[in-house]
């Protein structure tokens, strides 16, 4: 039985007239990497802030290693490592000096700073002012700051938002290595499906202050809404509902003005020939066609009717 690191029971939090978090239960075990997905305003950041201790829940309880924020704040600060979205540092402080400042808060020595510089791959940049770092390097420094005191739990709020794919991959590799080599747990909020898929053991989808689905990526996709996706657009308007006439179509989302459709089907290989045949018989011309596996975004649309992320 693995040790329970974070235990959240019935947590609720409101701001003025908005209920940001509506009764959430969550348990995070030692070594577990949890991904928190949801659209803007779903309550992810509020939940992270409650775990981080800067927001007090109106109702419910949060315990980290069995301890509460009110009683053991300093100890919990030593348990948690935190990297915020787009962290900026003091412009004219070098990478190493920034780490030294944070190290002084935890009373750590220079040896640990060197270790962290290696870990986040910033040895070559240690003398650079933080203002001259690239977005990826800055995020790696933020990660370094979060890891300085060897925390048991890492809270990462959109750690790779705004980074290019290469920089994102570099952050992932560092996190992956941590997962393999240290017994660390992580809670990550992200906009990127691949990120959750690559890093997380468990994914929680949050919407309007509640968890609407959770499990591994595979469990989510097969458990909540099995199927595959055929997306298409036509030159002509479609007059019939394909669900009525084509076998194996589970649901159809038809955007009439754009003549664009999205079908959830049992199996692409079985349904696609029937669909093409139907189009030929009705003299409809395909403008675009895309067949793929279901993603979390599709799952979210099928559950709420809205997109997970607008971009």
Partner 1 sequence: MKIKQIAHLVLVNFRNFFREPGALFWSFAFPVAMAWVLGIAFSGSPEKKYKVFLSGDSTFQKIFPSASATGFTQKIGTGSGTSAQVEFLPASEKTLTDALKKGICVLYIDLKNGQPVFHYDPGNSEAVTLYLMLERELSIHANRPVYVTEKITMKGTRYIDFLIPGLLAMGVMNSCVWGISWYLIELRMKKLLRRMVATPMRKSSFIISHFVTRLLLTSFESCILVLFSWLFFGIQMTGSFAALVLIYLSGILAFGGIGLVLASRTQSTHVANGLINAVVLPMTIVSGIFFSYQSFPEWMIAIIKVLPLTLLSDSVRAIFNEGAGLPEVLLPCGVLTGLGVVFYLIGLKIFKWY
Say whether residue 5 binds partner 1 (CB under 8 A): no
The one segment of 52-60, 178-186, 251-259, 284-292 that binds partner 1 by CB under 8 A: 52-60
User: How does DSSP assign 22-46, residue by residue?
Assistant: EEEEEEEETT-EEEEE--TTSSHHH
Among the candidate windows 35-43, 47-55, 63-71, 117-125, which touches partner 1 by CB under 8 A? Answer: 47-55
Beta pairing partners, 286 = 234
Is 89 one of the binding residues for partner 1 (CB under 8 A)? yes
Which 8-state DSSP code applies to residue 182? S
Say how far residue 71 (Cα) sits from the centre of its chain: 30
- The answer to whether 223 touches 217, Cβ cutoff 8 Å, is no
HSE on the CB side for 13, CA within 13 Å?
26
CB of 90 to partner 1, least distance (A): 7
Residue among 84, 212, 238, 289 that touches partner 1 (CB under 8 A):
84
Give the DSSP H/E element, type plus range, for residue 221: helix 217-224
Q: Which is nearer to partner 1, 69 or 224 (CB)?
A: 69
Tokens 């609407």, located at residue: 212
Shortest distance (Å) from residue 88 CB to partner 1: 4
Other C-beta atoms closer than 10 Å to the C-beta of 250 total 15
Residue 15 binds partner 1, judged by CB under 8 A: no
Q: Copy the structure tokens of residue 136.
A: 């990826």
Site string for partner 1, 139-178 (x = CB under 8 A): ------x---x-----------------------------
Q: How far is the CB of 48 from partner 1 (least distance, A)?
A: 11
Which helix (H) or strand (E) is 250 found in, with range?
Answer: strand 249-255
Interface positions, 97-126, toward partner 1 (CB under 8 A): 102, 105-106
Binding site residues, partner 1, CB under 8 A = 52-54, 74, 77-78, 80, 82, 84, 86-90, 102, 105-106, 145, 149
């Amino acid at each position: 039985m693995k040790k329970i690191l974070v235990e959240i029971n019935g947590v609720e939090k409101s701001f003025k007239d908005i209920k940001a978090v509506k009764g959430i239960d969550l348990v995070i075990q030692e070594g577990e990497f949890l991904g928190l997905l949801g659209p803007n305003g779903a309550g992810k950041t509020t939940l992270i802030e409650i775990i981080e201790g800067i927001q007090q829940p109106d109702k419910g309880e949060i315990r980290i290693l069995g301890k509460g924020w009110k009683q053991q704040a300093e100890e919990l600060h030593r348990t948690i490592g935190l990297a915020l979205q787009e962290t900026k540092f003091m412009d004219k402080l070098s990478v190493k000096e920034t780490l030294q400042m944070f190290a002084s808060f935890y009373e750590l020595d220079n040896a640990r700073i060197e270790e962290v510089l290696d870990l986040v791959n910033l040895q070559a940049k240690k003398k650079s002012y933080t203002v001259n770092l690239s977005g990826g390097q800055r995020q790696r420094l933020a990660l370094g700051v979060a890891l300085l005191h060897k925390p048991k739990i890492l809270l990462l709020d959109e750690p790779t938002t705004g980074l290019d794919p290469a920089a994102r991959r570099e952050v992932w590799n560092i996190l992956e290595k941590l997962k393999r080599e240290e017994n660390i747990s992580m809670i990550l909020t992200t906009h990127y499906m691949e990120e959750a898929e690559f890093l997380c053991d468990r994914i929680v989808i949050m919407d309007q202050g509640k968890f609407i689905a959770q499990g591994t990526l595979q469990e989510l996709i097969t458990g909540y809404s099995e199927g595959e996706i055929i997306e298409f657009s036509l030159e002509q308007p479609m007059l019939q509902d394909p669900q009525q006439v084509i076998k194996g179509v589970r649901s159809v989302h038809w955007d009439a003005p754009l003549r664009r459709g999205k079908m959830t089907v049992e199996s692409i290989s079985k349904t696609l020939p029937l669909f093409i045949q139907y189009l030929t018989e009705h003299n409809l011309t395909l403008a675009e066609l895309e067949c793929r596996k279901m993603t979390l975004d599709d799952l979210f649309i099928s559950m709420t009717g809205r997109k997970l992320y607008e971009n």
